[in-house]
Structure 1
Amino acid sequence: MSRFPAAPSPAEAALCGCIVAFCAHAAPARAGDPVVTLPSLSIEATDLPSLADSPLSASSPGASDRAAAQLGSPDAVALFHDTPGFSAYSAGGISSLPVLNGMADDRVATVVDGVRISAGCPNHMNPAMSYIDPDSVQTATAIAGITPVSLGGDSTAGTVDVERRDPQFARKGQVLVTGHVTGNYRSNGGGSEASGTVTLADDTFSLRYTASYAHAGDYHAGGDGGVVRSTDYLTFNHAVTLGMHKGNHLLALTAGQQDTPYEGFPNQYMDMTNNRSTYVNGKYDGSFDWGDLEVRGYWQRVDHVMDMLGDKGGHSPTTGMPMNTDSRMAGYTLKATIPLGPRDTLRLGSSFDHDGLNDWWPPLQGSMMMGPGTFHNVNNGHRDRLGHYAEWEARWTPRLSTLLGFRNDLVMMNTGPVSPYSWTGMMAAADATAARAFNAMDRGRTDVNFDVTALTRWQALDSLTIEGGYARKTRSPNLYERYAWGRGAMATKMIGWFGDGNGYVGNPNLTPEIANTASITIDWHDPHGQAWDLKIQPYYTYTHHYVNVVRLAQYSNGTSLLEFVNHDAQSYGINASGSYRLWNTVRYGQGDLVGTVDWVRGQDLVTRSGLYHQMPANGMVGVHETVGNWTGRVEMTFVKSKDTVDRLRNEPRTPGYALLGLGGSYRWRYLALNAGIDNVMNQKYYLPLGGLSLGDYDATGVLGPLKGMGRSFNVSLTGSF
């Protein structure tokens, strides 16, 4: 498999050059044009923030945190770095999987521009947040814990919600031209990025174009760890947004395309050798006499190809293992917010999501195992979800409010008959037998799921707010958990988004997970300003029918053949965050001490094993300073050794570590310079949620945990107009 060029094509380079030139000429002429920033269309006038829109368990990174995250990674998941309760499964350079309170991936309702996007890949190489570059994100929110039914269904962990910028408009009678261009460089892996946006608007119509490019080679591990193979990537994003604004009504339509010619996955047997996503996303916000209405609709097509890049020996047409996936997604969401009086607010909503999937593996030329026919892994599969909810929020007093919500999700799944590479022969016997049994069964499944959320917020003192409650959340299995049917060692090892090297078999008889969560959040803060703040959130979750695994067989290299099954499980932990104003003077500006601490423990109550990929106790302590146009930061990240592991998956233990990071930025007129050093001491460490380094295993024969990135010098320059 040949590599795509690491640099942009001539057309891409010309486009970037045109944007830069346009910015340079447009800035003096239009920099002072007034911009109309549309307010949120909310009719609620209350003393406390809405429980549904702003629960205390929600966290959003500030502007400086987002700038630091974007400097260090092109992955939008990195925006939530140091967010309480949040961690990430390591995957490709732009494809990490979000984790909230120890629950990952499909258990998290990941929403991009109001849309739930499912990964269309047996290894989940193209998750929802891989389709948006960090520079395009306007708001990013993670809710770890009890989630209102209006903010997520078909999930058990919480919600991660990111939104692109709304269209901008000019004041009446004027024309607005605005935008920015950013360039990034990272020394470790030679990573480079470019992104930019241009908006042309009057008081009614707005047209915006955004583009981004990101590339990196394999990164180097800390200490003397050498190169970490299969960590390179190349990706392009383009999007056009048309907006229309009149009175209390906003209409926005975005069409875009992402191309990822290649992306290495160090903890998978396969790499991504092409991924093209084409999408259309529409949004309407309106305010009426009776309340507010939000309508969204979307369509997305994903063409996905996997094989082995050079690190894993995929250079020729007779090596590797070609795997193709086509995904077609469409749906809508409706949300009505209706004030019933000065005290009560009613929210009603409806949504529908269609996920159609074809997953087939073409025969490999000259191979006895992968041929002579096509392996149909998922044939015309679909997962359709129809959801409705009602939510009542009441303000009993200026200091006491409650939220009660009910939700129903109808999940309908099915798939067509499948086929192995060959129906005859000793080498294909296991898959052929499994395919016959799979085709003979009734494969249609329908789940009727119910969620309940009950929350209470009490502002006991001006300095103390307490929020607590209970949630019953339900998640149906995904298409691969139910319909991955292969039984041969090679076929099963192509299934799994866990990065553990094991092989997985689906189970059509899986039942939905039902998670019962009790949580309380205590926010103790300065009643007069922002001098100090301390937030603590303990939680407990008991999950009926948790989708876990049983071991069917063990392979010679220590990995296993596993089947998805329902077990009961529990998880519990505590998240904490805080800040303290160290100084605030004219000469030295403002200095803050900030920190976070997370601890979670999960257990399968049937096998008594730890749940897979639970982040060990970890935290961050930092000092942030702002003096005029200058900001600086010093941060130390601490991670305890990982001793509680999933025995069935042979999850590796990892030692503890501490990483030092430095950063700073300076802004003047239309330019902003941002620089930082990650892992200043070049510490050698292993990623607790990194799984096994399968890319290195092919080259060295040593199967071990994935190494973390070593020291990297990062810099970015942004020009705005």
Structure 2
Amino acid sequence: MSYPFSARGQRSWLWAAAVCALPCAAPSALGATVVTLPRVDISTAQEDASLADSLLSASTVDKASARMSRLSSPDAASLFRNQPGFSSYGGGRLANLPVLNGMADDRVATVVDGVRINPACPNHMNPALSYIDPDSVESATSVAGLTSVSNGGDSLGGTIDVERADPRFARHGKILFTGRARGTYRSNGGGYSAAGSMTVANDTFSLRYNASYDQSGDYSGGGGIGQVGSTEYLRYTHDVTLGVHKKNHLLTLTFGQQDAPREGFANQYMDMTNNRSTYVNGKYVGDFDWGTLEARGHWQRVIHAMNMLDDKGGHTATKGMPMNDDQRSVGYSVKATIPLGHQHTLRLGSSFDHEGLKDWWPPLKGSSMMGPGTFNNINNGHRDRLGHFAEWEAQWTPRVSTLLGLRNDLVMMNTGNVSPYSSMGMMGMSNADATAAKDFNARSHGRTDVNFDVTALTRWKATDSLTIEAGYARKSRAPNLYERYAWGKGAMASTMIGWFGDGNGYVGNPDLKSEVGNTASVTFDWHDPSLAQRWGLKVQPYYTYVHNYINVNLNPKPMGMNVNQNQYTFANHNAQMYGINSSAHYTVWNTSRYGKGEVTGVLNWVRGQDKVTHTGLYQQMPLNGTLGLNETVGPWTGRVEMNFVKAKSTVDSLRNEPHTPGYALLNMNGSYNWKMMTLTAGIDNVFNQPYYMPLGGILTSDIKTGRMPMPGMGRSFNVSLAATF
């Protein structure tokens, strides 16, 4: 794969753009015909947010929290780190997978600019949130638990929704020229980032260019753990957005490309050695006499490669293990919002998503085990989902409203015949793969899942300070391509499959059924009845029972696996999850002299159980919480927070999930804003505490001698300078 610019050239250009953008703020440099104007927002939001878009189980990341999250990490998943019900896992520092109420990855509907992006990798190294840099995110919302059918299907745990900003336009007869630039340095790993954006617009047309660059070496664990190998990364992104605004209509087109030439994964046997995404997204929003119409379309191609970076043995022609993926995605979604009088609203929608995937592993020169032919893992597989929904919202009284939604998703999957490296049966492991390929090719591969979702909930404003929202949801999810079609049964082939970071091997099951989750939840929202909103407390208990939960059955251990590894086949079990999410805030002081001081807190607890194996479910976060103090005095904003995580004692013993000790981390950060510039600085893990990530899996480099949990990052001094004009 060739690149139009080298990584060093990209880095130099982006840093130069960030520096050069600062003097552009001077009005004299813009010319007499260019006028900087306030933003003109084009919005279809109602005066009062609809029930479907303002569920009490939803949490929106505020701008102050987003700024601090961007300081600590270039991963968009970090924006949600202090949201109720949210956790994440993954060995790559740009590619953490979201978890909501104990359900992870594919069980969460992750939407970026209205698009569901499926990982194009057997290890899920390129999840949806890795395709957008945090600086480009304008809004970030998580819905843990009950989700309206209009906000997505083919998921169980909830919805993660991030959006870029809509285009900005000038007032009639004027020209708008505006932009931003940011540079960030993180001491742990020697990481740095740069991002910039420029917009030029009149009252009808808007053109915006975004660019970002992120790089870091391996980080060091806390408390003298030392450097954690395979945790480096490099990524750069470009996108251009064209907006057209005419009266009550807005059309937006975004063209972009992202390259990640390398990203280490300490809890996988492979690292990512290239990931190029090229995409086009379109959105139309229009207001009509009958209501509002929103239509979206997208196309994306992902070229993905894995091998071993240098600290795992290199990826030369005679070392490592090359693995390639080529994915093409295309789809549309249409949603109509139709008011039926003053008290009722009807939403109708349709969507289609196509995922085409080819996953092949080229032969390795000089290897008798990885050759002489190509290992075809997923051979021109596809997963097509056609969905329709209807949703009715009613405001029966000023204090009582209801939401009822029905959804159907038709998921059609198929793949071609496959082949191992060799059909000669050399060295035992290849023989297992040759037999598995023959068995796989002898059966039909096409599968169709017909899924139905229902969401019904009621919101009751019991008093001016108490709102109660209760409901039930039936949600469904069809298996992904790897859960169904990963066929290799040899030790090496199966350990290349799996996004759990546990060092084990996984085999697909074409006969898997769709998961069906039944969730009952109630949210109590106590709050200050005055406009000051000085205090608030939200508590959400929930219970979910999942029929046909996709878990695993233990296989006989194949030749080549050591005592610390096992092989599993994906299988349908029944499972249950229950827990409580809670969040609170309280204004301690609010004076002209000392500014505003606010205490915030989040506490999450979840417990999952497999009803067949009677073990805990894999990757369930133990009791955890965050206690923070925010202060704002004029241009100064500061935050001190303590993150608490209880010891992980409830584990999935079938998969040898490791226990992890409890820990507490202190983080501090602050920012100062003057004129058009903002300086932000902070310290993560102030006391350099050693800790292990409860959902981080294990260090695969240690698999021969043990199953050491993934160490967390030690102390890091971070600083960022941003400018707008």
Separation of aligned partners in 2, 1:26 and 1:669? 11
TM-score (norm 2): 0.97
Q: 1:20 offset after TM fit, Å?
A: 3.3
CA contact (8 A) 1:266 1:696 kept: no
Tell me which of 587, 594, 615 is aligned to 2:600.
594
Tell me which of 512, 515, 520 is aligned to 1:513.
515
Tell me which of 40, 43, 66 is aligned to 1:40.
43
Tell me which of 652, 663, 666 is aligned to 1:660.
666
CA contact (8 A) 2:18 2:182 kept: no
CA contact (8 A) 2:35 2:174 kept: no
Q: 1:587 offset after TM fit, Å?
A: 1.0
2:681 maps to 1:679: no
Tell me the equivalent position of 1:457: 459
Tell me which of 689, 704, 707 is aligned to 1:703.
707
Q: AA paired with 2:555?
A: L
SS of residue in 2 equivalent to 1:366: coil
1:404-438 deviation digits (Å, cap 9, x = unpaired): 00000000000000000001133221101110110
Tell me the equivalent position of 1:501: 503
SS of residue in 2 equivalent to 1:169: coil
CA contact (8 A) 2:35 2:175 kept: no
Tell me the equivalent position of 1:70: 70
Separation of aligned partners in 1, 2:642 and 2:556? 42
Tell me which of 527, 530, 535 is aligned to 2:533.
530
Separation of aligned partners in 2, 1:147 and 1:183? 37
2:473 maps to 1:474: no
How do 1:378-457 and structure 2 match up within 5 A? 378-427=378-427, 428-457=430-459
CA root-mean-square deviation: 1.5
Tell me the equivalent position of 1:303: 303
Tell me the equivalent position of 1:157: 157
Separation of aligned partners in 2, 1:696 and 1:627? 49
Tell me the equivalent position of 1:569: 575
Tell me the equivalent position of 2:12: 13
CA contact (8 A) 2:528 2:536 kept: yes
SS of residue in 2 equivalent to 1:197: strand
Separation of aligned partners in 1, 2:328 and 2:544? 34
Q: 1:546 offset after TM fit, Å?
A: 0.1
1:428-456 deviation digits (Å, cap 9, x = unpaired): 21101110110010100000000000011
Unaligned runs of 5+ in 2: none
1:589-609 deviation digits (Å, cap 9, x = unpaired): 000010000000000000000
Separation of aligned partners in 2, 1:418 and 1:316? 26
2:549 maps to 1:546: yes
Separation of aligned partners in 1, 2:662 and 2:8? 43
How do 1:263-342 and structure 2 match up within 5 A? 263-342=263-342
CA contact (8 A) 1:211 1:239 kept: yes
SS of residue in 2 equivalent to 1:35: coil
SS of residue in 1 equivalent to 2:421: coil
Tell me the equivalent position of 1:56: 56
Q: 1:18 to 1:87 in 2, by over 3 A?
A: closer
Q: AA paired with 1:710?
A: G
CA contact (8 A) 2:305 2:322 kept: yes
SS of residue in 2 equivalent to 1:25: helix
Tell me the equivalent position of 1:204: 204
CA contact (8 A) 2:564 2:706 kept: no
How do 1:476-495 and structure 2 match up within 5 A? 476-495=478-497
SS of residue in 2 equivalent to 1:451: strand
CA contact (8 A) 1:174 1:202 kept: yes
Aligned structure 1 segments of 4 or more residues deviating by more than 6 angstroms: none
Q: 1:597 to 1:32 in 2, by over 3 A?
A: farther
1:464-512 deviation digits (Å, cap 9, x = unpaired): 1110100000000000000000000000000000000000000000000
SS of residue in 2 equivalent to 1:492: helix
Separation of aligned partners in 1, 2:588 and 2:464? 22
Q: 1:9 offset after TM fit, Å?
A: 2.3
Q: 1:15 offset after TM fit, Å?
A: 5.0
Q: AA paired with 1:615?
A: M
Q: 1:558 offset after TM fit, Å?
A: 1.6
Separation of aligned partners in 1, 2:10 and 2:404? 53
Q: 1:435 to 1:315 in 2, by over 3 A?
A: closer
Q: AA paired with 1:671?
A: M
Q: 1:14 offset after TM fit, Å?
A: 3.1
Separation of aligned partners in 2, 1:603 and 1:19? 50
1:219-271 deviation digits (Å, cap 9, x = unpaired): 00000100011000000000000000011100000000000000000100000
Separation of aligned partners in 2, 1:120 and 1:389? 27
Separation of aligned partners in 2, 1:691 and 1:572? 22
SS of residue in 1 equivalent to 2:342: coil
SS of residue in 2 equivalent to 1:648: helix
How do 1:195-234 and structure 2 match up within 5 A? 195-234=195-234
CA contact (8 A) 2:17 2:196 kept: no
Tell me the equivalent position of 1:113: 113
Separation of aligned partners in 1, 2:669 and 2:711? 23
CA contact (8 A) 1:91 1:97 kept: no
Q: AA paired with 2:84?
A: P
Paired-residue identity, %:
65
Separation of aligned partners in 2, 1:356 and 1:331? 12
Q: AA paired with 2:565?
A: T
Separation of aligned partners in 2, 1:18 and 1:272? 28
Aligned pair count? 713
SS of residue in 2 equivalent to 1:14: helix
1:490-543 deviation digits (Å, cap 9, x = unpaired): 000000000000000000000000000000011000001211000000000000
1:105-147 deviation digits (Å, cap 9, x = unpaired): 0000000000000000000000000000000000000000100
